[in-house]
Amino acid sequence: MYLLNNKLNLSIKFLISALPVSILIGPSVSLINIITLSLFGITILILLNKENSLFKNQTIRLLFFLYLYLIFNTFISLNYEESFKRNFGFIRYIFLFIAINYIFYVDKYNNFFLKIWTLVLLVVFFDIFYEFYNNKNILGFPSPLRRIVSFFKDEAIIGSFVNGFIFILIGFLFENYKKRNFFNNFFIFSFLFIGVTCVIFSGERANTIKLILGITLFFFIIKKTKYIYWITILSSIIILLSVNFGQFKVLKTRFYDDIFPRLFNKDIRENYLYFQLQASGYQVFKTYPVFGVGNKNYRIETCKTTDAAPIINNFNKTYRCNTHPHQVYIEFLSEHGLVGSIILIFLLFSLIFKNFKKIIQDQNLIQIGCFCFLLTNFIPIIPGGSFFSDYSSVFFFINLSFLYAVNSKTNIFKKVDNF
């Protein structure tokens, strides 16, 4: 198989190493990084086509089937321009997938950028603790309503950022657990415990639930760690929650006062924003049951109003104007309809579960970490960001790429030498 020269390989490694920092700096820098990595992916694909094509690989076919569906979705959307921006640009994640698989094929023991990512997350952990106790981060960004923003300045999304990388790093660090070095093991469990604490401190309830469920699944799947370890960790998390709820009013409000009244009081529940958005998304699905309104078109359908700052749609009082319904299955149903949702779920779950047996047998802990993160994106009922938004998609496809790349048996370049 044709390989790029060492300088180009180093460039790819550098760009992958810079992914967390580029996301922290802002959407434009992150997009430039992803597009540059995608260009390397295109280069690899073109060079391979001189011999044969990666299109023989079933995984690549599934990804391009997903892309073709999104192109089709564009042409049946209510607003072509809105869907075009999101759907046509989706191809960059396929080439990102190819680039990450390629670099692990070149050097399957390459852990350089994972060490860089660990360092970046340690800095983020420190910043979250600093902001939690000082009401501003180390760069001076203030906390809006005591919500942690960290390096994101005015967006309370740092919890999802931690979730996006921590599962890969938990797998990477626990691969080294077998060294049986006390200080090494102490660092591993401290990293995990502090990471969970930071997500809790962020006040992001959905991401806290996803992280705890994902970690539980991680320790349930792996065979090298005794059950007592994850029982101890989860018990520590529960203790931490109990202590912090009592000590910090903002956490008590976010995790207790805001949740339980909505669960047991119908009037309060009906006025809860996320329940209203999910109900609104379901109403959109009922109006467009076959193919939905189109990707990124929930806002187009639900915000048909003359109000300058709309809350309730003037043309359909059951709608709630917002960018998306804030729940992945409702988002799929409203924007892709029943047919589109079946296609999406089939393709995405096929990609996630395609190598499940090999993952369980080989016990590659990075793969298991990625697998657990990917599944947390599909937990029912729990609110979440828009699945196909730039911010959510980049985490999903980074983890999906690593799910395949880090194991020579599942790496998409495994059979290229035989083409």
pLDDT digits (tens, 9 = 90+) for 10-50: 888 999 999 999 999 998 999 999 999 999 888 887 776 55
Q: How does pLDDT run across 114-172, given as a tens digit for each residue?
A: 999 999 999 999 999 888 888 888 988 887 766 788 888 888 889 899 999 999 999 99
DSSP output for 255-295: IIITTHHHHH-HHHHHT-HHHHHHHHHHHHHHHSTTT-S-T
List Cβ<8 Å contacts ≥24 apart for 110-115.
110/13, 111/172, 112/13, 112/17, 113/13, 113/16, 113/17, 114/168, 114/169, 114/172
Report whether pLDDT(247) > 70.
no
Question: Given pLDDT bands bounded at 50, 70 and 90, which one contains residue 417?
Answer: very low
pLDDT tens by residue, 60-74: 999 999 999 999 999
| Least confident segment among 62-71, 251-260, 355-364 | 251-260
Helix (H, G, I), strand (E, B) or coil at 180: coil
The C-alpha atoms of residue 384 and residue 390 are separated, in whole angstroms, by 14
Sign of the alpha-carbon torsion through 2, 53, 350, 292:
positive
Which residues contact residue 289 at a Cβ distance below 8 angstroms, ignoring those fewer than 6 apart?
Answer: 337, 338
Q: Residue 310 — very low, low, confident or very high, per pLDDT cuts 50/70/90?
A: very low
User: What's the pLDDT score for residue 79?
Assistant: 87
Average pLDDT over every residue of 187-193: 85
Residue 315's pLDDT is 54
CB atoms near residue 70 (< 10 Å): 22
Q: Are 356 and 330 in contact (CB under 8 A)?
A: no
- Residue partners of 253: CB distance under 8 A and separation at least 6: none
User: Could you tell me where the DSSP H helices lie in 90-181?
Assistant: 91-106, 112-134, 158-175
Numbers of helices and strands, H then E, in the chain: 20, 0
Instruction: Of 94-98, 105-109, 193-197, give the lowest mean pLDDT range.
Output: 105-109
Q: Which residue has the higher pLDDT, 384 or 258?
A: 384
Reported as a pLDDT band with limits 50, 70 and 90, residue 82 is: confident
What sign does the dihedral 159-162-164-168 (CA atoms) show?
Answer: negative
| Mean model confidence pLDDT for the chain | 82
